[in-house]
Amino acid sequence: MKPFYEILVVGGGHAGTEAAYISSKMGIRTLLITNSVSKIGELSCNPAIGGLGKGHLVREVDALGGIMGVVADASGIQFRLLNKSKGPAVQGPRTQIDRQEYKKIIQKKLNKIGLLTIIEAEVIDLVVKDYSVSGVILGNSEIIYCKSVILTTGTFLNGKIHIGDKSYSGGRSEDLASIRLANRLREMNLPMGRLKTGTPPRLDSKTINWSILEKQYADVKPHYFSFSTKKTRLKQIACHITFTNKKTHEIIEKNINKSSIYNGKILSAGPRYCPSIEDKVIRFSEKESHQIFLEPEGLNSDVIYPNGISTSLPEDIQEKYIRSIKALETVKILKLGYAIEYDYVDPRSLKPSLEMKALKGLFLAGQINGTTGYEEAASQGLIAGINSVMFVRSNEPVIIQRDQGYIGVLIDDLVTRGVKEPYRMFTSRAEYRLTLRADNADQRLTQLGSDLGTIDSNRNNTFLNKISKIKKAKSLLKECKITPSKAIKLGLTVKQDGKIRSALDFISNSKVPLKKIQTLWPELKCIEKSILLQVAHDVRYDIYIRRQKVEIEETKKNSRTKIPENFDYKLINGLSNEIRAKLELIRPIDLLQASRIDGMTPAALTLVHLWIKKYSGVNRDNGNYEQHLYGAKSSF
Amino acid sequence: MSATIFALSTPPGISAVSIIRISGPDTFRAVGRLLGLKKPCKMVFSQLRKVHLRKIFSIEGRLLDEGLVILFKKGRSFTGEDMAELQLHGSHIVIKTVLESLTSLGYARLAKPGEFTKKALENNRLSISEVEGLSDLLVAETEAQQEQALNIYSGSLSKKINSWKERTTKILSSVEAAIDFSDEVNSDSLVNGVIHDLKILETELVEEKEGFKSAESIRGGFEVALVGKPNVGKSTLLNGLAKRKLAITSEITGTTRDIIELRYNLDGLPVTFLDTAGVRHTDDEVEKIGVSNSIDRVNNSDVRVFLTNDKEEIRSFGVKYVKSDIVLRPKGDLPGSEPSISGKTGKGFEVLLETLKKTFSDKVRKASNITRTRHLEKIISCLDHLRTIRVYMEEKNYEDEIIAEELRTILRNFDGLLGVVNTEEILGEIFNSFCIGK
C-alpha cells in the first residue's frame, strides 16, 4: 500500500523546516512532526543569522531555493557585511534577527504549502524492516508510514542541561528532550557520541545603562541573503559593545569549580572556537578583557542576548560576574545561561547524500550530525530534503562538490572526517575559497536549482537576465582600451610597460574606484552599478581562479576513480588494521574522498587505487582471471 | 584531454640506436612536423605499424638526422593512444635537438617518469599479467618493502619538509585567523607577525635549492681524473683508452699543460677521463696556472685514479683523496707491485673499467631518483610564491585572502612532496621506479 505521506520530517528547527519546505515544494507529500508547533523556526541561541562562512551557506541555500535567506531578510534588523576591509571572497553577510518575526514568517510560509502537513507529537521509534526505514512510531503508539524519514532532532536527543552543579534532562531551556528516540537509535547500534554547547544568560534591556556604551550600526547599504530580496522590511537597530574586565575574570576564576564544565559534570567536547566565558578566562588567561555584543532579540523585545559569554556557572555566580561588567551593574537576568549535552550520530555513517549507509531511506540533518549553527543546519536540511525526494523518486542523489559550494565542503567534511567538536563553517575550510564567494552563489548554484525544480522560473529568468548583463558589461569593458602613459596621465596607477590595458583590467584592481572608470569611459555609464561591481568581483581573483581551475580539473581526474560500493578492503594485503577499519566505516565513494580520511597514508591510498584498477581490469576480461588473481574466494 | 608526451626511451649516452617515443592525441601532428610535412599527410596515417626510413627536421627545417619512424594508432599501441617511435642515431646532439624540436612545438611535453606506463594502465592497455607484475611490486611483497618503495624520501628530507610545512601552517593560521575571526584579530599587526617566519622559510628553501644544483650537476656525466707525477704515463694511459692519439705524450716533463678530456662511453654511462697537467711544483708561470687548474678539476672529479708506486706519495699531490678513489702502479708492463696498469699494453684496463662502472652505477641509481627533480621544481615554485607574498607585503598592497591563497599553494606543494594529498602524484612516484620513456 502506498503511504499517504511519502516523506516524514522529524523536528521543526532550521534543518527540519528547510527539509520539509523543499521536499513539499518539489511536489512530494510531506509530514513535519515536531514537539512544539509554536516553536517551529525558533532561534534557540543567538538572534543573528549569517557571518563568515555562514553567510556563504545561507546564500547558497537561497540560490537552491531554500527558505532561510528569504525569511532572514524579512526579519533582519541589523544588516552588516563582515570583513568589508578585505576582499569579496571573505566577506560574509550577517544580520541581527527579530526572533518573533522570523518564527512568524517561517510558520506562515510553511502553512501555505498544500503538500505539507504539520503535527505536534513526539516520535519515539522508527519502523525498520530489511535495513530500510518505512515509518515512525509516535508517543501515543500511532504508526505513520512513509517512504523516507528525515531526522533533525537538534540538541534534543538525550539532551541534558547543566547549570552549575544542577543538571536536568531537556532539549532546550523549556522543552523536553527526546529520550525514547535516542535510546532506540542507540539500540539500533548506530555509532553515536556526545557533544556539548552552551548559551549565555538573557538580560533585561530595561536594566542596562545603554548611554555609556559604544554602538555598532547597521550598514547604510544592506547586503541581503536572498537574491530575490529588494528592500529592507524592518527598522534597523544598533548593537552595543561592552567588555569583561579584571574583576569579571576574578569572579569566574574563583568560582571555576562550580561551573559544570570544570566540576566534572560535563565530559563531552564543546566548540573550541566558541568557548564559554569560563574557558576564555582559564585558557586565555593573558587576555584581560573579552568583547561582548549586546544583541536585541527583536524590535519589540526587552530581551538582550549578550554574545560572547555563554556559561554553565550557577545562578548566583552568573549574576555576580555579569554585574561586574560595564553598563550591566544593575542588570536583571531573565533567563540563566546553561550548557547542554546531547547525542549525535557519527556523520561518517552517512553517505554524501546524508542518507544513513546502514538504513535505507533514513536521512539525518543538522545538529544530530555534530554540527552547530542555524546555517549549517539549514544547509543540511535542504540537501537531506532534496535527496529524500530523489530517493523517493529512485533518482541519483544530488551531491554538491567542494568546488561548487560551502554546502559541499560542509557535507564532505562531515561524512569523510567526522567531528570531534561541534562543527562550524569557516571560510578557511574551503580550499576553493576565492571561487566560492557569497556574491556569486547564484552563478554557482541557480542552474542546479532550476534543474531540480526548486527555484521558480521567475527567479531563473532574473538570474539569466543578470548573467547576460554581466556578459555584455564584460565585453564593453574589454573594448575600452588605454596605453599605460595615457592611463597615468588620467591618474590611474599602472606599470609603464607599453602594454595596452582594458577597462576590465583596471576594475580587477580593488584600488581603482568603479566610478572613476565610468567617468573615464562615458560609454560604460550604461552599466548598472551592481552589475559593474559583480564583474569587478568576478575578475578580481582571475589569475588565482584559473590556477585553481587547473587544480580542480586534476582533482576531478582523481575523483573519477570510483571505489565500488561493496569493495572488500580485506583483499588488500598490507593495509593497516586502523586504516582498513576507517575505510570500511566511511566507505568513500571515490579516491578523492578516501584521500581526505583522517590518517590516510599515501601508501594505503595507492594500494587502494591499484586494486581498483585491477578490479576494473578483471571486469573488462569478464572475470576470467578472477580466480587466478584472488584465489578461490572472491567477493567480486 | 590527455597531454601529448614524449621521451627518450633508451638509456642516454652514445649508442647505435636511440628511441624516442611520443604518445597522445597530437602525436601524428608532431611527427608530421618533424618529417617536414606541412600537414600530417595521408601517407603517414595509412602506413600505421610499418617501418619508414625518413629524414627528421627541426621546426626551422634544419636536417637533424635520418631514422626509422613507426606509427601506432589509438587503441593499438602500448599506451592505448596514438603513438610514434622514432629510432634515431644514438648521439647526444641528435637526441638533444630532436627533443628540443618536440618541446618547441608547444603542444607536447617531456614525459614524466613512468608516464607511458601510467597511460597504458589508465587506458586499460596493460594486460592483467603486467598489472600483476606491477602490483606484485607493491602488494605481494612485505609491508616493509612496500613502505620502502613508497617512502622515497629519506627520513631527514621528510623531516625537513615537515618542518617547512609546520612553519607555513603557522603563518597561514595567523592569516586565516585574521580572516575568520576579524572581530578578535587585528589584521594590521599581521605583517609584522609573519614576516620574520616568512624570511626564515625563504632562507631555508634557498639553501635547499642551491644544494640540489650541485647534485644535479653529477648527472651531466662522470669525471675521472688521472693523477700522478709528470712522466708517470697518464697520457699514454689516456691514449690507450681512446685507442688513438688524443693527448700529446712525450718524455719531456710538463708537456701536458692543459687538461685533456676523453669522453668515453662506459657501457652507456657517459664518462670523461681527464688527463691533468702533472701535479708538481714549478716556477714556470704558464705551467703554474696549468697546475692550479688541474687541482680544481681533480678535486671536483667523481673518481681520481692515482698513478703512483707509493701510496704515501698521494698526500704530496695536494688533491682530494677519498675511499672510492683508485690507486694503481703505473707502467704495469714492467714488473712490480699490483694492482697496476699499463697504457702501452692495456694491462689492467678491464679491472679499472669494471671498478668505475660499479661505482658509477651505484651513483646513477641514487642520483637518477627523479623525485629529486620534482622536489627541486616544487621548491622553486614555493620560492616564487614566497617572493610574491613578500612583494605584496612590502608594497602594502594585498588582501589577506590573497596572501592566504599563496600560502595554501605553498602548503600544497609541500604536501605534494610528501605525497599526502594526491594519489595521482603517488602513483607517479611509483612509476618513477620505471625509467623515463617506459
Q: Does B179 contact A618 at a Cβ distance shorter than 8 Å? A: no
Q: Is residue A297 part of a domain?
A: yes
Q: Is residue A553 part of a domain?
A: no
| Nearest CA among A405, A360, A366, A359 for reference residue A382 | A366
Can you give the pLDDT at residue A458?
92
- Domain check: are A169 and A276 in the same one? no
| Tens-place pLDDT, residues A133-170 | 999 999 999 999 999 999 999 988 999 999 998 999 98
- Domain check: are A44 and A95 in the same one? yes
Q: What is the mean pLDDT of residues B135-159?
A: 40
Domains B4-111 and B149-217+369-431 share a fold: no
Which architecture, in CATH terms, is B222-367?
Answer: 3-Layer(aba) Sandwich (3.40)
HEC secondary structure over A419-471 = CCCCECCCHHHCCCCCCCCHHHHHHHHHHHHHHHCCCCHHHHHHHHHHHHHHH
Contacts of A602 in chain B (CB under 8 A): 150, 418-420, 423, 426, 429
Mean pLDDT highest for which of B107-111, B179-183, B271-275, B424-428?
B107-111
Q: Does B423 contact A591 at a Cβ distance shorter than 8 Å? A: yes
Single-letter residue type at B18: S
Can you give the pLDDT at residue B8?
87
Half-sphere exposure of B369 (CA within 13 A, CB side): 17
The yes-or-no verdict on residue A624 having pLDDT over 60 is: no
Residue B31, all three cell numbers:
611527427
- Residue B150 and residue B167: Cα distance in Å, rounded? 25
Residue among B423, B429, B430 with most chain A CBs within 10 A, to mutate? B423
Residue ending a domain, among A491, A517, A544, is A544
Contacts of B131 in chain A (CB under 8 A): 610, 613-614, 617
Which residue shows C-alpha cell 688513438?
B244
Q: How confident is the model at residue B426 (pLDDT cuts 50, 70, 90)?
A: very low
The yes-or-no verdict on residue B143 having pLDDT over 80 is: no
- By C-alpha distance, the chain A residue nearest B134 is A610
Q: Nearest-CA distance from B98 to chain A in Å? A: 29
- Residue A576 and residue A574: Cα distance in Å, rounded? 6
- Domain check: are A440 and A397 in the same one? yes
- Domain check: are A280 and A367 in the same one? no
* Extended strands (E) in A65-199: 76-82, 92-97, 116-120, 123-129, 132-138, 143-145, 148-151, 160-163, 166-169, 192-199
| Nearest CA among B67, B65, B66 for reference residue B97 | B65
Percentage of chain B exceeding pLDDT 90 = 10
Q: Does B409 contact A547 at a Cβ distance shorter than 8 Å? A: yes
Can you give the pLDDT at residue B124?
59
Q: What is the mean pLDDT of residues A84-111?
A: 96
Structural domains counted in chain A: 4
Q: Does A609 contact B134 at a Cβ distance shorter than 8 Å? A: no
Q: Does A609 contact B409 at a Cβ distance shorter than 8 Å? A: no
What 8-state DSSP symbol labels residue A360? Answer: B
The yes-or-no verdict on residue A234 having pLDDT over 50 is: yes
The yes-or-no verdict on residue B128 having pLDDT over 60 is: no
Chain B residues with CB within 8 Å of chain A CB: 121, 124, 126, 128, 131-132, 134-135, 138-140, 143, 146-147, 150-151, 176, 179-184, 187, 397, 399-402, 404-405, 408-409, 412, 418-424, 426-427, 429-430
Can you give the pLDDT at residue A146?
97
Mean of the per-residue pLDDT values of chain B: 73
| Tens-place pLDDT, residues A407-433 | 999 999 999 989 988 999 999 889 899
Q: Nearest-CA distance from A189 to chain B in Å? A: 33
Can you give the pLDDT at residue B279?
58
Give B49 or A167, the one with higher predicted confidence: A167
Contacts of A573 in chain B (CB under 8 A): 139-140
Q: Does B150 contact A434 at a Cβ distance shorter than 8 Å? A: no
Can you give the pLDDT at residue B16?
82
Contacts of A50 in chain B (CB under 8 A): none
The yes-or-no verdict on residue A517 having pLDDT over 50 is: yes
- By C-alpha distance, the chain B residue nearest A88 is B401
Among B146, B179, B423, beta carbon nearest to A90: B179
| Tens-place pLDDT, residues A579-609 | 888 898 889 988 888 878 877 765 677 678 7
Residue among A46, A56, A85, A86 with most chain B CBs within 10 A, to mutate? A86
Residue among A214, A284, A549, A610 with most chain B CBs within 10 A, to mutate? A610
Can you give the pLDDT at residue A619?
41
| Tens-place pLDDT, residues B185-236 | 666 666 677 888 899 999 988 877 766 654 444 445 678 888 888 788 888 8
- Domain check: are A400 and A354 in the same one? yes
**Domain of residue A230, residue span:** 202-341
Q: Is residue A463 part of a domain?
A: no
Torsion (CA) B34, B37, B43, B44 in degrees, nearest 10: 30
Q: How confident is the model at residue B272 (pLDDT cuts 50, 70, 90)?
A: confident
Contacts of B399 in chain A (CB under 8 A): 86-87, 510
Among A90, A291, A617, beta carbon nearest to B183: A291
Q: Does B423 contact A427 at a Cβ distance shorter than 8 Å? A: no
H or E segment at A295?
A: strand A291-296
Q: How many inter-chain contacts (A to B, CB under 8 Å) are there?
A: 119
Mean of the per-residue pLDDT values of chain A: 89
| Tens-place pLDDT, residues B325-339 | 999 888 888 888 888
Q: How confident is the model at residue A205 (pLDDT cuts 50, 70, 90)?
A: very high
Residue among A606, A624, A627, A636 with most chain B CBs within 10 A, to mutate? A606
Burial label, A115 (beta-carbon count in 10 A; 0-12, 13-18, 19+): middle
Domain boundaries along the sequence of chain B? 4-111, 149-217+369-431, 222-367
H or E segment at B381?
A: helix B371-394
Among B131, B183, B427, beta carbon nearest to A614: B131
| Tens-place pLDDT, residues B217-231 | 444 567 888 888 878
Q: What is the mean pLDDT of residues A109-127?
A: 96
- Domain check: are A158 and A179 in the same one? yes
Can you give the pLDDT at residue A622?
35
The yes-or-no verdict on residue B156 having pLDDT over 60 is: no
Least confident range of A333-347, B223-237, B381-395: B223-237
Contacts of B134 in chain A (CB under 8 A): 610
Can you give the pLDDT at residue B288?
66
| Tens-place pLDDT, residues A179-198 | 899 998 888 888 999 999 99
Q: Nearest-CA distance from B371 to chain A in Å? A: 15
Among A547, A606, A611, beta carbon nearest to B430: A606
The yes-or-no verdict on residue A362 having pLDDT over 50 is: yes
Q: Is residue A550 part of a domain?
A: no
Q: Is residue A462 part of a domain?
A: no
- Domain check: are A210 and A186 in the same one? no
Q: Which residues pair with A50 in a beta bridge?
A: A94
| Tens-place pLDDT, residues A36-89 | 999 999 999 999 999 999 999 999 999 999 999 999 999 999 999 999 989 999
- Residue B192 and residue B188: Cα distance in Å, rounded? 8
Mean pLDDT highest for which of A258-262, A465-469, B371-375?
A465-469
Can you give the pLDDT at residue A217?
95
Q: Nearest-CA distance from B386 to chain A in Å? A: 15
Q: Is residue A457 part of a domain?
A: no
Among B124, B140, B181, beta carbon nearest to A620: B124
Can you give the pLDDT at residue A127?
95
Q: Which CATH class is domain B4-111?
A: alpha beta
Can you give the pLDDT at residue A280?
86
Percentage of chain A exceeding pLDDT 70 = 94
Q: Residue A106 belongs to a domain with what CATH number?
A: 3.50.50.60
The yes-or-no verdict on residue A388 having pLDDT over 90 is: yes
- Domain check: are A35 and A179 in the same one? yes
Which architecture, in CATH terms, is B149-217+369-431?
Answer: Up-down Bundle (1.20)
Q: Is residue A130 part of a domain?
A: yes
CB A477 within 8 A of CB A502: yes
Coil, strand or helix at A136: strand
H or E segment at A10?
A: strand A7-10
Which residue shows C-alpha cell 553577510?
A93
Among A433, A558, A616, beta carbon nearest to B423: A558
Residue ending a domain, among A319, A341, A363, is A341
- By C-alpha distance, the chain B residue nearest A591 is B423
The yes-or-no verdict on residue A630 having pLDDT over 80 is: no
Among A431, A555, A617, beta carbon nearest to B128: A617
- Domain check: are A54 and A158 in the same one? yes
Residue ending a domain, among A280, A310, A341, is A341
- Domain check: are A163 and A74 in the same one? yes
Q: Is residue A459 part of a domain?
A: no
Least confident range of A249-253, A331-335, A350-354, B179-183: B179-183
Can you give the pLDDT at residue A594?
85
- Domain check: are A248 and A269 in the same one? yes
| Nearest CA among B110, B145, B165 for reference residue B417 | B165
Mean pLDDT highest for which of A205-209, A537-541, B412-416, B429-433?
A205-209
- Domain check: are A525 and A576 in the same one? no
The yes-or-no verdict on residue B420 having pLDDT over 60 is: no
Whole-complex ipTM: 0.82
Burial label, A246 (beta-carbon count in 10 A; 0-12, 13-18, 19+): exposed
